Amino acid sequence: MDAGGADARPRAPLAAIWGAPTLADQNPDENIVEVSLTAERSKVSLDGKEIDVLAFNGSVPGPILQARPKQRVIVHFRNALDEFTTMHWHGLRIPAAMDGSPHVQTPIAPGATFTYDFVVPDAGSFWYHPHVQTHDQVERGLYGAIVVQGDDDPVYDLERSLTLDDVLLDEAGNIAPPTISPLTGLSGRWGKVLLTNGKNSKGVRGAARKGQVERWRIVNSANARRMALGAEGASFRVIGADAGLFADPFPLQDLLLPVGGRVELEVSYDRPGEAKLFIKDVDERFTMFTVDVADAPETPRAIPWPKLAPVVAERPVTSTFNMAFDFLQSGNSTQWFVNGVSDWKEPILTVKQGATVKIRLSNTTPGVEHPFHLHGQFFRVLDAKWPGLRDTVQVPALGAIEIVAYLDNPGLWMAHCHILEHAALGMMTDIEVLPTGAAAGTGAHGH
Ligand code: C2O
Ligand code: CU
């Protein structure tokens, strides 16, 4: 922890982030961010109605956790729910004991507290959510954004955090109980009301002036909804994804944001009027965010792009592995399988720290895609549609995709589908990374 020591380069102040409150840092030490987070029952207003939710510090989404790379983050977490939970810091390559996996951490009892304490390694946009009864707790409101501001990040006129979700309501306008039915067991739970930062997306608006340039940090926190994003009314570049900013941004065209994934856009307001972010479904289009752009004589400046080295350099593959996803539905019960096993009780793969494993993810199900997520590590996708490093990738229906996973972070790491109903019904495994020095296991366990 010697930030500010040898490297005395002045850092830009932390950006003010539009979209959600930020967790207050209670520690004056500039190397430590210390915050308090309580999960509790709460009420929020949605379309003019008070609805029952689960919330962090009373808000949906939860407050933004903001930090810088190499800072130590201490989260005083209190479980004020009447059920068990844990907190997972999706995308952060932190020690396994702090990752919130219930395969590693004993879940936190109702009324109990736990201190999460870790050093944040990478800049980028991440998010946090529980990992117990995840399909239920996330649907009812427990999710929040994490913003880690890199020292070389470009400075924008404004940064916005846009956490996109959907929610399924009952007739009274409350969240319908997130139970799993044969339909949601198969397709995942798709809400009918789209949410941006916890509000009905239709009504979520911002303001800007022609000539301004912004950074949008977008998270897909839905249970199951893939988001084909589009935008109009300004000039948009895709500047980053799961593992922070890209070395080479590119103009926005078709962009698929899987459940759990993140994407970052640079928005240059080059004309007055309305700029919009939307989701294109097969025959419907949902506006997720609208910006009223006031006229002004200025034209947007070009943002000088920093020289960014990827947080993990490319390197040769050391082994290969296959993960095949499949399901079985009989009567009212659905089960999902990875390599023929539902809900693995032992690691599906054991490797030594530093292994570089090419994993083929294949999906035998027609009409159902799987957003595959690996905890605590990054991977590259061997497909130009997925530039940069990732922790989540969409596996197409009746198709396959290959990733190269850089298994540098020792521990037991969940690898699962981020359609939360699929994970609950068995699409859940672990990859074990043995610390250097320890003997490697036998590789894949036979099944
Ligand atoms: Cu977003 Cu297992 O996590
Ligand atoms: Cu799935």
Point out the ligand 1 atom lying closest to the alpha carbon of residue 91: 1
Q: What does the alpha-carbon distance between residue 447 and residue 440 come to, in Å, rounded to a whole number? A: 19
pLDDT of residue 7: 56
- 169 alpha carbon – ligand 1 mean position (Å): 24
Closest ligand to the CA of 394: 2
Tokens at 229, concatenated: 């994003």
pLDDT of residue 11: 87
pLDDT of residue 442: 41
Point out the ligand 1 atom lying closest to the alpha carbon of residue 129: 1
- 418 alpha carbon – ligand 1 mean position (Å): 6
Place of tokens 């207003």: 45
Q: Is 422 in the pocket of ligand 1 (CB under 6 A)?
A: no
Cα 338 to Cα 324, 343, 419: the distances in Å are 6, 8, 14
- 180 alpha carbon – ligand 2 mean position (Å): 14
- 213 alpha carbon – ligand 2 mean position (Å): 36
β 72-80/113-119 pair status: antiparallel
From its phi and psi, is residue 183 left (phi > 0), alpha (psi between -120 and 50) or beta?
Answer: alpha
Question: Atom 1 in ligand 1: which residue has the minimum CA distance?
Answer: 90
Phi, psi of 183 (to 5 degrees): -70, -50
Cα 33 to Cα 22, 30, 153, 257: the distances in Å are 12, 8, 19, 29
Point out the ligand 1 atom lying closest to the alpha carbon of residue 127: 1
Q: pLDDT (tens digit, 0 to 9) for every residue of the chain, 447 residues total?
A: 444 445 566 889 999 999 999 999 999 999 999 999 999 999 999 999 999 999 999 999 999 999 999 999 999 999 999 999 999 999 999 999 999 999 999 999 999 999 999 999 999 999 999 999 999 999 999 999 999 999 999 999 999 999 999 999 999 999 999 999 999 999 999 999 999 999 999 999 999 999 999 999 999 999 999 999 999 999 999 999 999 999 999 999 989 999 999 999 999 999 999 999 999 988 899 999 999 999 999 999 999 999 999 999 999 999 999 999 999 998 888 999 999 999 999 999 999 999 999 999 999 999 999 999 999 999 999 999 999 999 999 999 999 999 999 999 999 999 999 999 999 999 999 999 999 965 444 444 433
Question: Atom 3 in ligand 1: which residue has the minimum CA distance?
Answer: 90
Point out the ligand 1 atom lying closest to the alpha carbon of residue 416: 2
Residues in contact with 207: Cβ distance below 8 Å, sequence separation at least 6, in sequence order:
291, 292, 294
pLDDT of residue 387: 97
Q: What does the alpha-carbon distance between residue 277 and residue 231 come to, in Å, rounded to a whole number? A: 4
- Structural contact between residues 186 and 335, judged by C-beta atoms closer than 8 angstroms: no
Q: Is 416 in the pocket of ligand 1 (CB under 6 A)?
A: yes
Q: Is 414 in the pocket of ligand 1 (CB under 6 A)?
A: yes
- In the chain, the N- to C-terminal Cα span, in Å, equals 45
pLDDT of residue 439: 47
- Structural contact between residues 334 and 327, judged by C-beta atoms closer than 8 angstroms: yes
pLDDT of residue 10: 80
Q: What does the alpha-carbon distance between residue 331 and residue 161 come to, in Å, rounded to a whole number? A: 42
pLDDT of residue 283: 85
- 371 alpha carbon – ligand 2 mean position (Å): 6
Closest ligand to the CA of 375: 1
- 307 alpha carbon – ligand 1 mean position (Å): 30
Q: Is 135 in the pocket of ligand 1 (CB under 6 A)?
A: no
pLDDT of residue 5: 47
Closest ligand to the CA of 364: 2
Indicate the residue type of 92. L
Q: What does the alpha-carbon distance between residue 365 and residue 276 come to, in Å, rounded to a whole number? A: 34
- For residue 257, the SS3 value is strand
